[in-house]
Structure 1
Amino acid sequence: MRVGVRVPPCDRADRIVETVRRAEQLGFDEVWFPDSQLLWRDVFTTLTAAALGTGQIGLGTAVTNLATRHPAVVASAARSVAELAPGRFTLGLGVGNSSVGPIGLRQTTSAAMREGIAMLRALLAGEEWEFEGKVCSRLRDPQPAIPLHLAASGPKNLRLAGEIADGVILLSGVSPATLAQAAARVREGAAGREEQPPLTVSAFCAVTDDVEAEARRIKPVCASIAQNGGAPFLALAGIDVQVPDKIDGVYPDLVHAEDWKAAVDVCSAWISDEAALRFAREFCLFGTADEIAERLRALHTAGVTGVFLQHVGSYDPPTELIEAVGTTVLPRLKANDR
């Protein structure tokens, strides 16, 4: 199983590259960069620097979108990065989330995503595309081998991802019950395909002996999932929480709060310490190096082909997480492989 880490483009690209190089040195397989134009530096600028500054680690977007970026623009940007990192780049796509909300746009619908991915594939393959029924154009110097992965959480998009994507990024966390349900929807969508698309799972991670202390810090993440239609997923794992549709006092949103401590305090009104602890144990990879390594092996046994780890916070690189996982968890996984 491939183990990656999420690195937000929260600083100058040349500084972020140092973080990526360290992940490569410690044996991570992939680095995934989120895309949100008001929160971070441009993702494709950062990817370009990372491509030039590394030699073997996989690079990907987790995720960019087809709402703030036209599919033709995404095709050109993806082609440009792939040229610099042959065989190492994966284009991860999603509905928009923190890119669209702050500028008043709506998330991409399933129908628009289907058409957008069809356009991307055609352009990356060098084929002509008829835009708005008026003009036929094509991408010069295409790159048809770029894998297109689709991030999904709801049943409709999970089925869509299984049907049309080269890989699926699951936003359901690592809870066995929710992961099994999400994977089942992907399999439904992929029923007519010769091979099932690979599954990559995102998970917040902390190497710690004190899970209770760390768990309190992820209350905003748990609250955000409940707020955005994920309450049934939480309930499957025995976490019953009710969160209002709108929560004041947190900017720009719960998961990307600029003042994380304040967000934790606000969310404590709906997420108890007990619920946060259960969320950390069920949905996240919190625990000792041995415990995390064992859970990663279990994920692989369950059919997961990749995981990318996230740290709490959006405006600093995951330096501590990379060091902790790279020096304690990855060696245990490699020792087991031998």
Structure 2
Amino acid sequence: MAGRKRVPIPATGMTAFRVGRVLGVGMPGAYPGRRRPPPSPGRPGPRRPRRGKAAGHRLPVGWAATLGSAATGPSGGGAPGRVRHRGPQEGADVSHLEFYLRSYPQPDDIRAQAAAAEEDGWDGLLLTDTQNLSMDVVGSLHLAASATSRLRLGTAVTNLVTRHPAVVASTFATLHHVTGGRAHIGLGRGDTALELIGTRPPSADEFEQQVGRLQTYLRGDVVDVGGLGSRITWLPLEGETKVPVDVFGSGPHVIGVGARRGDRLTVTVGAEPERVDWAVQTARRARASAGLDPDDLDVGAFVVVGVGTDEAALDALVRGNASISAHFQRGSTALLSRTDAAVVAEVTDHYDEYHHGLEHAAQSEALSADFLRRFCVIGRPEECVERLGRLVSSGLSHVTVVGGSRDVDPAVRRRSDTWWPPRCCPPCGPSDARHRHATTGADEMTGDDRRSVLATGGANAVGRGLGVDLAARCTTASRLVVDGGFVSQ
């Protein structure tokens, strides 16, 4: 390997070893001389984005209070604090609960979608990264960044094979810099992305090594690559936080990787409370076994959600994405009932990677209505709020919501833009709750007032359920359907 200087890696003291005298001496931008320029006009600084009234944006009216009631029971008790510090038996405080919307990298309309997601009060927008099935995610994330100021932006998920850990670190640290600290790396093993190019996904051990290297690159430390000291010379940037790494996992081994190596963990085990409880406790045990504090780990859930009244329409809406989540369970079928294990086996036997996430695919057709209703959160708004509340009570800090499949009929989405009957409005909490109504100009609004506005055409401002403006913002297949009745022929 002529031309490459091998740098000895000390057995200990990797943090100290990263200083500029080893690599990057005299190089422009080398650590530690790099300083961040002052933010340009219109671009937020590195401080973590504020939420709620102080941030100057509208949060979805009523959904958090309602979900909190579902999670904590009638008393709504419990001391304030992070959800992750509370065990399943204690209920959960939702004051810091975060909601992320999972969507697709569609550069033609991603700016409008991202702006709508931010206006609707979502905490983040996460895009898929499967090179053979959709356009490149990085370009879409930068377009989304140009249309937003608060929304966190990232992947659900990328992998560390098609994108080398150093490339991922540099790419997302750049996004983090230009957005004032809003980048978010969602990682998985990369099953579909890799199988479509004839490459096997990494084992859990290999994946753990990859995640460890990514974290080291993001910190600006040195990675030992076969004796070569490799690092990103311009990281870290003074005054900027490290990009958070969110590991997505469904089986005990990858969940363990996320618990040990990730900044947060998102479990993809469906929507049954027992399965989510199992995943949360598996993560906590793995973290404790590594000598780390389990209370310092953010654990969330990846949940397929559809809101409406027409059961057949909801089945069609979520079927494609539900087949993805079901396919993820193939490595841990011993934890499933015999019936569900048989469904997962049938999905796996018929899985067509080029129809990944589509409603009209052999693997999607293997899912029964009963399986969909247990594995996804679908139903009327109040039913969905109650079910999500039960999941949150497992100790979740965040929920990544997945809506319609990639091939949902565009006409269905267009009808959902304008059809929101008041009967589908989610509960708004106490009747005397008062809210700001930015569109109509009303300073204060009660739950009854909100329903009145919905009935008279103001749904675009306040017609939101589970954190989504479902009446006028269903611009892509990943949006939730408001009421399944609108697809009736």
Q: TM-score range by the shorter chain?
A: 0.7 to 0.9
- Letter of the 2:298 partner, please give it: P
4+ residue segments displaced more than 6 Å: 236-239, 316-326
Q: Deviation at 1:281?
A: 2.3
Q: CA distance change for structure 1 residues 135 and 28 in 2, over 3 Å: closer, same or farther?
A: closer
Distance 1:112 1:148 in 2: 17
Say whether 1:235 aligns with 2:337. Answer: yes
In the other structure, the counterpart of 1:302 is: 394
2:464 corresponding residue in structure 1: 328
Q: Deviations over 1:306-333 (max 9, x none)?
A: 112112322679967899898332479x
SS of 2:162 mapped into structure 1: coil
The CA deviation string for residues 217-253 of structure 1, in whole angstroms up to 9 with x for no partner, is 55555555258335445528967534174327x4514
Provide the residue aligned with 1:151 in structure 2: 248
Deviation for aligned residue 1:200:
1.9
Q: Does 1:312 pair with 2:448? A: no
CA shift for structure 1 position 68:
0.6
Bigger CA radius of gyration? 2
Answer yes or no: is the 8 Å Cα contact 2:159–2:188 preserved in 1.
Answer: yes
Q: Does the aligned pair in 1 maintain the 2:173–2:183 contact within 8 Å? A: no
Query: After superposition, what is the alpha-carbon deviation per residue over 1:19-38, rounded to whole angstroms, capped at 9, x for unaligned?
Result: 11111111112111111111
Contact in 2 for aligned 1:75/1:123 (Cα 8 Å): yes
Q: In structure 1, which of residues 198, 202, 205 is the aligned counterpart of residue 305 of structure 2?
A: 205
Determine the C-alpha separation between the residues in 1 that align with 2:103 and 2:313: 23
Question: Which residue number in structure 1 is paired with residue 190 of structure 2?
Answer: 96
Give yes or no for the alignment of 1:142 onto 2:242.
Answer: no
Question: Secondary structure of the residue that 1:157 maps to in structure 2?
Answer: helix
- The answer as to whether partners of 2:166 and 2:232 remain within 8 angstroms in 1 is no
Counterpart pick for 1:132 among 223, 226, 234:
226
The change in CA–CA distance for 1:213 and 1:18 in structure 2 (over 3 A counts) is: closer
Name the aligned partner's letter for residue 134 of structure 2: W
Aligned-partner Cα distance in 2 for 1:331–1:115: 36
Scaled by the length of structure 1, what TM-score is found?
0.83
Q: 1:114-129 counterparts in 2 under 5 A?
A: 114-129=208-223
Alpha-carbon shift at residue 299 of structure 1 (Å): 2.4
Partner SS for 2:186:
strand
Contact 1:200 1:305 in 2 (8 A): yes
Structure 1 Cα separation of the partners of residues 342 and 254 of structure 2: 24
Q: Distance in 2 between matches of 1:180 and 1:219?
A: 24
Task: Tell me if the contact between 1:8 and 1:315 (Cα under 8 Å) persists in the aligned partners.
Answer: no
- Mark the CA change 1:302 to 1:322 in structure 2 (over 3 Å): closer, same or farther: farther
Q: How far apart in 2 are the matches of 1:83 and 1:228?
A: 38
- Counterpart residue number, 1:73: 167
- CA pair 215-232 structure 1, distance change in 2 beyond 3 A: farther
User: Over aligned residue pairs, what C-alpha RMSD do you find?
Assistant: 3.0
Q: Decide whether the 8 Å contact of 2:276 with 2:391 is kept in 1.
A: no
TM (norm. structure 2) is 0.59
**Percentage of identical aligned residues:** 25
Indicate whether 1:173 and 2:270 are aligned.
Answer: yes
Higher helix share goes to which structure?
1
Gaps of 5+ in 2: 1-96, 421-425, 427-461, 469-489
CA contact (8 A) 2:347 2:364 kept: no
Q: Which residue does 2:134 correspond to in 1?
A: 40
After superposition, the C-alpha distances for 1:133-156 in whole angstroms (9 at most, x for unaligned) are 235443324355211111111111
**Which residue is 1:277 aligned to?**
369
Question: Residue 239 of structure 1 contacts residue 279 of structure 1 at CA under 8 Å; is this kept in 2?
Answer: no
Secondary structure, counterpart of 2:306 in structure 1: strand
Call closer, same or farther: CA 1:127–1:96 in 2, change over 3 Å.
same
Is the strand fraction higher in 1 or 2?
A: 1
Contact 1:178 1:236 survives alignment (8 Å): no
